[in-house]
């Protein structure tokens, strides 16, 4: 992994951790967008380390909870969708991955809340009540993930194109001198 990828990976972990630690509206953080992006763009053997490090690191600071294994494994849905976009990221794929990941995360983690807490009875009605109570959090999580994913992928593409233009200008200048 070259120096640029290491810096990108560290920056992504920092963005995700700080995004979870700073005051924010419920569930509007860059973490899941970072997972999508890292797994779509970073070298394979390092890609998953970014969201895992960010999730575990920030949870160690925020505090653990009964359904932590559901949130950590729920994050893997974003990672899998990111891996699925490798070399094929487009606006549509990014949007659909952000939406699909948010939906899977919502279903999985709220199942975890229902199973591991005593907030809801262990009945079908209790499960439905759990999901209904979580809908406002789903809305903000979905909006945050879509917005952050759009911003992160767009910033990366802008930087990539800018670097490509600089490289082309250097080659042209070198050819003009030769």
* Reported confidence tier of residue 2, pLDDT bands at 50, 70, 90: confident
> What pLDDT shows up at residue 48?
94
Q: How many domains does the chain have?
A: 1
Residue 44: CATH number of its domain: 1.10.1760
Extract the tokens encoding 56. 């575990």
Q: Is the pLDDT of residue 9 over 70?
A: yes
Per DSSP, helices labelled H in the chain are 3-21, 31-41, 44-47, 49-62, 68-84, 91-116, 124-177
Extract the tokens encoding 130. 């759990």
Percent of the chain with pLDDT over 90: 77
What is the distance between the alpha carbons of residues 168 and 174, in angstroms, rounded to a whole number?
A: 10
Q: Which residue has the higher pLDDT, 32 or 174?
A: 32
Mean pLDDT of the chain: 91
- Taking each helix axis from N to C end, the angle separating 91-116 and 124-177, rounded to the nearest 10 degrees, works out to 150
Residues in the chain: 178
Question: For 51-61, what is the mean pLDDT?
Answer: 94
What is the distance between the alpha carbons of residues 86 and 43, in angstroms, rounded to a whole number?
A: 10
Q: Is the pLDDT of residue 119 over 60?
A: yes
Boundaries of domain holding 70: 3-177
pTM: 0.87
Q: Is the pLDDT of residue 170 over 90?
A: no
Q: Is the pLDDT of residue 66 over 90?
A: no
User: Which residues, 6 or more positions from 112, have their beta carbon under 8 angstroms from its beta carbon?
Assistant: 67, 69, 70, 71, 74
* Reported confidence tier of residue 65, pLDDT bands at 50, 70, 90: confident
22-55 pLDDT, tens digit each: 998 888 999 999 999 999 999 988 899 999 999 9
90-113 pLDDT, tens digit each: 999 999 999 999 999 999 999 999
User: Among 87, 108, 94, 106, which Cα is nearest to 36's?
Assistant: 94
Q: Is the pLDDT of residue 178 over 70?
A: no
CA 65 to chain centroid, in Å, comes to: 20
Q: Is the pLDDT of residue 1 over 60?
A: no
Question: For 6-18, what is the mean pLDDT?
Answer: 93
34 and 81 Cβ atoms separated by less than 8 Å: no
């Amino acid at each position: 992994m070259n120096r640029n990828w290491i810096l990108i990976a560290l920056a992504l972990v920092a963005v995700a951790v700080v995004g979870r630690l700073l005051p924010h509206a419920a569930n509007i953080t860059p973490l899941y967008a970072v997972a999508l992006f890292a797994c779509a763009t970073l070298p394979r053997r390092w890609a998953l380390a970014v969201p895992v490090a960010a999730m575990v690191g920030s949870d160690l600071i925020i505090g653990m909870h009964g359904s932590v294994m559901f949130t950590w494994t729920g994050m893997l849905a974003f990672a899998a969708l990111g891996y699925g976009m490798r070399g094929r990221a487009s606006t549509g794929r990014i949007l659909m991955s952000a939406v699909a990941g948010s939906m899977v995360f919502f279903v999985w983690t709220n199942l975890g809340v229902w199973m591991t807490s005593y907030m809801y009875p262990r009945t079908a009605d209790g499960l439905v009540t759990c999901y209904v109570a979580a809908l406002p959090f789903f809305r903000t999580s979905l909006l945050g993930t879509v917005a952050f994913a759009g911003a992160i992928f767009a910033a990366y593409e802008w930087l990539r194109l800018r670097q490509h233009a600089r490289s082309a200008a250097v080659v042209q200048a070198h050819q003009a001198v030769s």
